[in-house]
Amino acid sequence: MLNHRTKFKVPTSLSSPELDFDGILLEITDAIDSIYLEKTEVLSFEKLYRHIYLIVINGAGSKLYGEIEKFMSSKLRELRNDFTIDETQDEMGFLKNLNQFWLNQCKYFKIINDLMSYFNKVYCKEERKFEVYDLCLNLFRIDIVIPLHESISNKIINQINKVRYNNELLYIANTDIWKSIFNMLETLQDVDDKDNYFITYFEPKFIQRTENFYSNFLNVDSLTLDDYLVKVEKIKSFENHLDNYFLNPDTTLKIISILDKCLVWNNIMDKVPAYVKDLIQVSNNDQLKKLYSLSLNEEYKGKIISTVSECILDALKESTDNNINDNTKRIKKTQMSLNWISSVLEIYNKYKALLSCMKTDKFSILNENLMKYLKDLENLTIESVIIYLDTFLKLSSNENLYNATNNHTNSDRSTDTIKKNIKDCTILLKFINEKDYFEIFYKKLLSKRLLQNRSNFELEKWLVGIIKTEMGSFVTIKIEGMLRDINKSKELLINFKKSEDLNNIAYIPEILTISSWPFVSELNTDLIILPKELLEIQQNFQTFYSSKNYNDRTLSWQFNLQTIELRCSINKNIYELIMPFYSSLILLLFNENEIYSTSEIKEKTNLPEAELIKQLLSLTIAPKCKILKKSPPGTNISLDDKFSINVSFKSSVTRIKVPTLVNGGISSSSINGLGNGSGLTDDQQLEQLQLEKSRTLQINASIVRIMKNSKTLTHNELYEKVEHDLLDRFSLTNIMFKKSIEILIEKEYLQRSPDDINFYFYVA
């Protein structure tokens, strides 16, 4: 420290005995004047350095600092007054002058700074004051820029707005001047300000005026949407381009977002819903994408999305009105289901394309809306989806495919198209909650397709695979069992044919596992008397089947599921009659005798009376199929009535399906006793009751299982657990749950807590 000081210390004897401060100051100010006159060559820097050195070591630094500040300030003010006179000249001239003035000052400040470098280093640094250069800049700010603030900013912004207005980069050269002036503003800084002059004082004004400028720039009402989108895009890219010339990136971003506000969301927010609806109407996905990507504003994007969402729901509701609620057209349920599901799928695909085109992160609104919509139509959805699938699967049957390829007309019927239609429909599966009902209804139609060989077996297997993935294996376990049975039966048939002589009768056995199929088992079928030929086949098959050693499987014959095809000659015409098994038993009797009474038929077939009467009625009164004649005629059958072949029977087709009476009426599709699968029947009520019963049992079991583990739970805890437990089967409702709870309290599996009704105890 001591050494350090001595190094700078000049012996007093060497210094001037008296410091002539005023003289030195005068020399310095003269020198500054010379610098301003750009006559630096006359200056003796060596002498000036020495003077300044003397002032500093004599402790007069602070006095000098003050004097310099005063001098420079008055100099700048003086120059400003000269400069201000020119303020009246045109804006660009003013800006050019200002810029030139600024550049000059910087040059002078630099020289002055150099001149005083010892002062800077020893005095300013020690005293923590501005160096002379910075001192000058600060004075420039105070004495030039602040007084001229309005003038500078107005003029430069006017210039920029003029370019914006003309929308062309004619004055591109000027951007250099702007850039330089912005640079000046960014250089200037007050001690107390965190940010520079540009950011603190200029930028807010610039942004404000930019906003004012663009706010009324586009009159949306007079533009079509297309024109508007083009214009906005053009303006944005122009502004961006322009800003690149003279503006720093931060401010550019702010300007662009102001543009967003003025041109887009502030401007067209009210019109967005109408625009979106129009674009959706004409499926203009590209324009919609442009509209959506026009702004990053959350509210704006949200508004577009909520409008799209609204449109989805509206479209779906319209579909309900057109297809389900429309009572003016009397169409069959099958057709209604096809129309409705097709229309829902069409809507789905349309919006799927639209949303992926928009590249939005809100893609989920499609599924959300669809789910909300289908939830209220749960059972109808299930039935319609299954009927839709059923229709297409039936198109895939070999017979239908064969017809299609021969006609070459209907391209809808190629396997690929069918597959695509089915695949499309499977997206709806995941919206189905009541999976147990789906299973019941699906099995009903599937059993019909399988037993009547109405569809392509490979396609059935493929679809069941998809159902399994979408809905879980709980739903498909029995359905898969049904497919397995059919497959197994085919194998059996091949082996059976190899080993047996079939008497010219084409016999197709189908072994159905009782627990998988939706039938009520028919009892006491062994009492029925079969014709010799059939009995033989039955016995042969029985022997063959038991030789296979399927452990623990017993074969029981379900005649009501069987169909028989008979070839017969009536009045010299050959007909092929396709009929239920029991009908055929009656008809075959007439091979031996011409006339039978009711009681004789009963005796010879041993059919239960109700079945007998049903079949006799079917054979005598069904339209176009009156194969038997009854005497006396009428729709009542008594034991003494006589039956004979109706010899006057005539039909234009050779293959005839003979229907069976169902519930007093004729149902053409009721062969095999499956009922009218696609229409609402009386069975449905029964079905619903059974469904409810099975659900109650499942809920009860689930509650007991859970309570056994937990011992005590609150109402809501238990509800959630049971709901979760049954999630892959059906959706639990409050009513079902409470009813089960009450049953279990009644049966004393559960008890309410005496203190708090919301608590349940498990009673072991």
Binding stretches for other proteins (CB under 8 A): 714-716, 719, 734-735, 738-739, 741-742, 745-746, 752, 757-758, 760
Closer by beta carbon to other proteins, 173 or else 757: 757
Q: What is the smallest separation between the CB atom of 745 and other proteins, expressed in angstroms?
A: 5
Q: Is 166 exposed, middle or buried (0-12, 13-18, 19+ CB in 10 A)?
A: exposed
Q: Which amino acid is at 598?
A: T
Q: Quote the distance between the C-alpha of residue 132 and its chain's center.
A: 66
Closer by beta carbon to other proteins, 250 or else 742: 742
Q: How far apart are CA 566 and CA 564, in angstroms?
A: 6
Closer by beta carbon to other proteins, 549 or else 734: 734
The answer to whether 357 and 285 are in contact (CB under 8 A) is yes
The answer to whether 379 and 434 are in contact (CB under 8 A) is yes
Answer whether the bond into residue 659 is a cis peptide, omega within 30°. Answer: no
H and E: helices and strands count for the chain: 33, 11
Q: What is the smallest separation between the CB atom of 756 and other proteins, expressed in angstroms?
A: 9
Closer by beta carbon to other proteins, 21 or else 719: 719
**Which long-range contacts does 360-366 make (Cβ < 8 Å, 24+ apart)?**
360/292, 360/301, 360/305, 362/305, 365/305, 365/308, 365/309, 365/312, 366/312
Give the SS3 label for residue 564: strand
Q: How far apart are CA 280 and CA 318, in angstroms?
A: 15
Q: What is the smallest separation between the CB atom of 688 and other proteins, expressed in angstroms?
A: 19
Closer by beta carbon to other proteins, 601 or else 713: 713
Mind giving me the DSSP string for 379-405?
HHHHHHHHHHHHHHHHHTSHHHHHHHH
Q: How many residues does the chain have?
A: 764
Beta strands 595-597 and 628-631: pairing type?
unpaired
Q: What is the smallest separation between the CB atom of 723 and other proteins, expressed in angstroms?
A: 12
Q: How far apart are CA 321 and CA 311, in angstroms?
A: 15
The answer to whether 697 and 730 are in contact (CB under 8 A) is no
Q: Is 756 exposed, middle or buried (0-12, 13-18, 19+ CB in 10 A)?
A: exposed
Q: What is the smallest separation between the CB atom of 712 and other proteins, expressed in angstroms?
A: 13
Closer by beta carbon to other proteins, 206 or else 737: 737
Closer by beta carbon to other proteins, 593 or else 733: 733
Closer by beta carbon to other proteins, 54 or else 745: 745
Closer by beta carbon to other proteins, 503 or else 710: 710
10 Å Cβ neighbour count for 496? 20
Q: Would you state the structure tokens that stand for residue 418, as one six-digit string?
A: 């069918």
Q: Is 272 exposed, middle or buried (0-12, 13-18, 19+ CB in 10 A)?
A: buried
Closer by beta carbon to other proteins, 401 or else 743: 743
Q: What is the smallest separation between the CB atom of 737 and other proteins, expressed in angstroms?
A: 9
Closer by beta carbon to other proteins, 601 or else 750: 750
Closer by beta carbon to other proteins, 483 or else 745: 745
Q: What is the smallest separation between the CB atom of 681 and other proteins, expressed in angstroms?
A: 29
* Buried/exposed code over 1-29 (b: 16+ C-beta within 10 A; e: otherwise): eeeeeeeeeeeeeeeeeebebeebbebbe
Alpha helices (H) along 58-145: 61-85, 91-115, 117-118, 125-127, 132-140
